């Protein structure tokens, strides 16, 4: 599920291209990837560094990988500035749908190796999080972008068998002297609004539908962040109205699923209508705990004392009988 955002906003120049690469998702196995489309063909994509086009139909992340706390999945994507002018490229992750148990436990990194960006925790459903630093591209220049998605080592058992769908958003726009490149989340509708921050996480931009629920549809992208003071600056979150009700991507979307004994929710199935998912503990994980040794010791001492008392009582009886016989 790739959504184009070209033409949605302007700042200091013509918008070149913005594309959303559908569904990285939350933690265990990665299903097939959807296609990616870049508006106006200014941003071209490749999964092998050889064949470039404005769309990508094959998977970006390895399929079938299962995630446990601390596990990560790495993918490589090549991007080319197919315009005739210098441009800047920024990227972001949009949480299209997520089980609430995963909030804050998924993380994302992006960048040019070996200089990957710091890990960016992904927020709640309906938020946009800018990841990585802005990359400068000369006309026709190709760059290899490394993407890493992970599940935090401290993720609790409640995250097992949970899923989330995450779109990757890329923004390519011309360089404007004296102006800093915009973060990718600003390409979404409402990206130039003033920040409002109550009840939000810094760096994450909530995306809300008009009815107050979070999500996105297959034809629109939303989100916003305030201007950054630096490439890796943490930006305050803002709410942005989303046209249309939220939907869950189809089976063609990438899906990460938390490891567990159950199969988990499948791609294309909403949490409300899908099969029940129980956070069962994997067989190879032994619960932490201890057994008190106080009670067994007390019982052992009691038993020993009873035996001693019984022996003493028997000896006294025998001695008394002998004294009478004497």
**Where do we find the tokens 């630096």?**
230
Instruction: Say yes or no: 95 and 136 in one domain.
Output: yes
Instruction: Say yes or no: 193 and 324 in one domain.
Output: no
Q: What is the dihedral of CA 147, 126, 63, 82, to 10 degrees?
A: -50
The per-residue pLDDT for 320 is: 80
Least confident of 28-42, 133-147, 208-222: 208-222
Report which of residues 6 and 184 the model is more confident about.
184
Q: What sign for the dihedral angle of Cα 237, 241, 243, 245? A: positive
Strands 72-81 and 142-151: antiparallel
Structure tokens at 314: 């028997």
Instruction: Say yes or no: 210 and 304 in one domain.
Output: no
Instruction: Say yes or no: 308 and 240 in one domain.
Output: no
Strands 240-241 and 204-208: parallel
Question: Which of the 8 DSSP states describes residue 18?
Answer: E
Residue 205 has pLDDT above 50, yes or no: no
Tens of pLDDT, residue by residue over 64-86, are 667 789 989 888 899 999 988 99
Query: E-strand spans in the chain?
Result: 3-4, 17-25, 36-37, 43-46, 55-56, 72-81, 87-98, 106-112, 115-116, 120-121, 127-137, 142-151, 163-174, 204-208, 240-241, 256-257
The per-residue pLDDT for 322 is: 79
CA dist., res. 132 & res. 39, Å (int): 22
Report which of residues 141 and 257 the model is more confident about.
141
Tens of pLDDT, residue by residue over 160-180, are 888 888 888 889 999 988 888
Average pLDDT of span 33-57 = 72
CA dist., res. 106 & res. 119, Å (int): 10
CA dist., res. 94 & res. 164, Å (int): 11
Report which of residues 283 and 321 the model is more confident about.
321
151 within 8 A of 71, measured Cβ to Cβ: yes
Residue 235 has pLDDT above 60, yes or no: no
- pLDDT classification of 302: cutoffs 50, 70, 90: low
Whether 272 is covered by a domain: the verdict is: no
Instruction: Say yes or no: 181 and 237 in one domain.
Output: yes
Whether 303 is covered by a domain: the verdict is: yes
Q: In Å, how far from its chain's centre is CA 177? A: 35
- pLDDT classification of 115: cutoffs 50, 70, 90: confident
Instruction: Say yes or no: 139 and 195 in one domain.
Output: yes
Whether 56 is covered by a domain: the verdict is: yes
Instruction: Say yes or no: 243 and 311 in one domain.
Output: no
Q: For residue 320, what are the domain limits?
A: 290-326
Report which of residues 193 and 182 the model is more confident about.
182
Residue 141 has pLDDT above 70, yes or no: yes
Instruction: Say yes or no: 119 and 221 in one domain.
Output: yes
The percentage of the chain sitting over the pLDDT mark of 90, rounded to a whole number, equals: 13
CA dist., res. 226 & res. 233, Å (int): 10
Instruction: Say yes or no: 296 and 149 in one domain.
Output: no
Structure tokens at 86: 């210098």
- pLDDT classification of 61: cutoffs 50, 70, 90: confident
Peptide bond into 316 cis (omega under 30): no
Whether 180 is covered by a domain: the verdict is: yes
pTM above 0.75, yes or no: no
Whether 266 is covered by a domain: the verdict is: no
Instruction: Say yes or no: 114 and 52 in one domain.
Output: yes
- pLDDT classification of 231: cutoffs 50, 70, 90: very low
| Last residue within a domain, chosen from 257, 281, 314 | 257
Query: E-strand spans in 229-323?
Result: 240-241, 256-257
Whether 236 is covered by a domain: the verdict is: yes
Average pLDDT of span 84-97 = 90
The per-residue pLDDT for 58 is: 60
- pLDDT classification of 269: cutoffs 50, 70, 90: very low
Instruction: Say yes or no: 189 and 309 in one domain.
Output: no
CA dist., res. 1 & res. 67, Å (int): 23
Whether 78 is covered by a domain: the verdict is: yes
Structure tokens at 127: 């938020």
Instruction: Say yes or no: 184 and 108 in one domain.
Output: yes
**Domain count of the fold of the chain:** 2
Q: How far apart are the first and last CA of the chain?
A: 106
Strands 87-98 and 72-81: unpaired
- pLDDT classification of 41: cutoffs 50, 70, 90: confident
Whether 262 is covered by a domain: the verdict is: no
| Last residue within a domain, chosen from 242, 257, 272 | 257
Report which of residues 155 and 244 the model is more confident about.
155
Q: Give Cβ neighbours of residue 158 (< 8 Å, ≥ 6 apart).
A: 101, 279
44 within 8 A of 53, measured Cβ to Cβ: yes
| Last residue within a domain, chosen from 208, 233, 257 | 257
């Amino acid at each position: 599920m790739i959504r184009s955002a070209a033409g949605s906003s302007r700042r200091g120049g013509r918008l070149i291209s913005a594309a959303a690469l559908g569904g990285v998702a939350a933690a265990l196995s990665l299903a097939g990837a959807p296609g990616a489309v870049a508006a106006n063909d200014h941003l071209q994509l490749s999964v092998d560094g050889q064949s470039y086009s404005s769309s990508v139909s094959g998977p970006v992340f390895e399929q079938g990988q299962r995630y446990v706390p601390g596990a990560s999945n790495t993918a490589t994507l090549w991007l080319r500035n197919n315009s005739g002018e210098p441009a800047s490229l920024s990227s972001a992750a949009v949480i299209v749908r997520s089980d609430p148990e995963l909030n804050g436990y998924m993380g994302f990194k992006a960048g040019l190796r070996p200089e990957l960006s710091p890990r960016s925790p992904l927020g709640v459903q309906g938020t946009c999080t800018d990841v990585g630093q802005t990359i400068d591209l000369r006309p026709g220049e190709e760059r290899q972008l490394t993407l890493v998605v992970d599940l935090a080592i401290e993720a609790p058992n409640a995250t097992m068998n949970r899923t989330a769908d995450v779109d990757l958003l890329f923004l390519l726009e011309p360089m404007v002297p004296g102006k800093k490149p915009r973060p990718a989340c600003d390409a979404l509708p409402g990206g130039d609004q003033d920040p409002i921050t109550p009840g939000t996480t810094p760096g994450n931009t909530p995306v809300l539908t008009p009815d107050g629920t979070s999500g996105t549809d297959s034809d629109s992208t939303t989100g916003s962040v305030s201007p950054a003071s630096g490439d890796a600056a943490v930006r305050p979150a803002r709410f942005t109205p989303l046209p249309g009700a939220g939907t869950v991507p189809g089976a063609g979307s990438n899906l990460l699923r938390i490891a567990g004994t159950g199969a988990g929710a499948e791609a294309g199935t909403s949490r409300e209508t899908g099969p029940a998912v129980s956070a069962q503990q994997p067989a190879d994980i032994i619960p932490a705990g201890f057994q008190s040794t106080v009670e067994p010791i007390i019982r052992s001492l009691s038993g020993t004392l009873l035996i001693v008392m019984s022996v003493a009582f028997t000896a006294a009886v025998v001695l008394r009988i002998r004294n009478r016989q004497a």
